[in-house]
């Protein structure tokens, strides 16, 4: 199934997936997935539970490598380069493609250390002053600085749920990624924290390419410019968000988003 053509010709393709098939042992989880993620856009992946959206997103930053029974076939390219190629360093790839998880998982370290860890291990700062700058600007861009600036030494786990998630976002931003993957980032948060994060996603769009997996149709409709609907391991339809939610082309898409199944 090819992606719907777009009037987004002015946006380049950041990540492209071609004929991606993923297996967990003998069980196939993704079938011939073809999808383009456009640069500096928020792309939402929606679909019922177990449809493969989380599997897909974890292939993009090769988190599925840690699962021994997982096999990925096909090509996933970042800026045209196959991320499963032999010369690709997985560790460096994960610095270019950051991830925010469903349940906020800050390191059991201080707020400052949480954000400083990534830049430190990737050698992004040459002096303590530079590191401070990176930490401060990451916290600022994650919209957290004002709330934690006199608590930088406190453990990351002492923050509220929404703050922890923003800390995880700051941590992901600190290594200057090009893409941020979000796997249901708001599902463990209350509505106000959720709204705050959605606002943040809107602000981050201008600097990063964002892919968000979400169970909430309203959230996908609110934050994304493009939406892909996954069902039973296939991409059923992909297109401009407004169009998918006012006039979807596929019956399955329409049935899912109007709640007739799933």
Q: Kindly list the residues in this chain that would bind other proteins in the complex (CB under 8 A).
A: 61, 63, 66, 68, 91-95, 98-101, 103, 105-108, 117-118, 121-122, 155, 157, 168, 171-172, 175, 217-218, 221, 245-248, 254, 257-260
Under 8 Å between Cβ of 51 and 230: yes
Closer of 148 and 257 to other proteins (Cβ)? 257
**Cα(48)–Cα(50) distance, rounded to whole angstroms?**
6
CB of 10 to other proteins, least distance (A): 25
Under 8 Å between Cβ of 218 and 191: no
Closer of 41 and 64 to other proteins (Cβ)? 64
CB of 215 to other proteins, least distance (A): 14
Closer of 50 and 108 to other proteins (Cβ)? 108
Under 8 Å between Cβ of 226 and 242: no
Q: HSE (CB half, 13 Å, CA atoms) of 7?
A: 5
Q: How many angstroms separate the Cα of 134 from the Cα of each of 31, 61, 129?
A: 41, 23, 9
Closer of 9 and 261 to other proteins (Cβ)? 261
CB of 68 to other proteins, least distance (A): 7
CB of 181 to other proteins, least distance (A): 9
């Amino acid at each position: 199934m090819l992606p719907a053509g777009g009037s987004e010709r002015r946006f380049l393709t950041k990540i492209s997936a071609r004929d991606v098939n993923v297996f967990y042992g003998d069980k196939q989880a993704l079938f011939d997935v073809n999808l383009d993620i456009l640069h500096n856009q928020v792309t939402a992946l929606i679909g019922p539970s177990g449809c493969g959206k989380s599997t897909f997103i974890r292939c993009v930053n090769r988190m599925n490598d840690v699962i021994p029974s997982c096999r990925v076939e096909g090509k996933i390219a970042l800026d045209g380069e196959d991320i499963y190629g032999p010369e690709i360093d997985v560790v460096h790839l994960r610095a270019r493609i950051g991830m925010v998880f469903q349940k906020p998982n800050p390191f059991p370290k201080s707020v400052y250390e949480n954000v400083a860890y990534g830049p430190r291990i990737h050698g992004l700062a040459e002096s303590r002053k530079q590191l401070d700058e990176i930490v401060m600007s990451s916290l600022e861009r994650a919209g957290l600085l004002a709330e934690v600036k006199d608590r930088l030494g406190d453990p990351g786990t002492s923050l509220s749920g929404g703050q922890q998630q923003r800390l995880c976002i700051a941590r992901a931003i600190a290594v200057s990624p090009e893409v941020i993957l979000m796997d249901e980032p708001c599902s463990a948060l209350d509505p106000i924290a959720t709204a705050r994060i959605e606002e943040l996603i809107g602000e981050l769009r201008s600097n990063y390419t964002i892919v968000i997996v979400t169970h909430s149709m309203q959230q996908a409709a609110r934050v994304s410019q493009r939406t892909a609907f996954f069902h039973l391991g296939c991409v059923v339809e992909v297109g401009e968000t407004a169009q998918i939610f006012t006039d979807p082309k596929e019956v399955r898409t329409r049935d899912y988003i109007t709640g007739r199944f799933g």
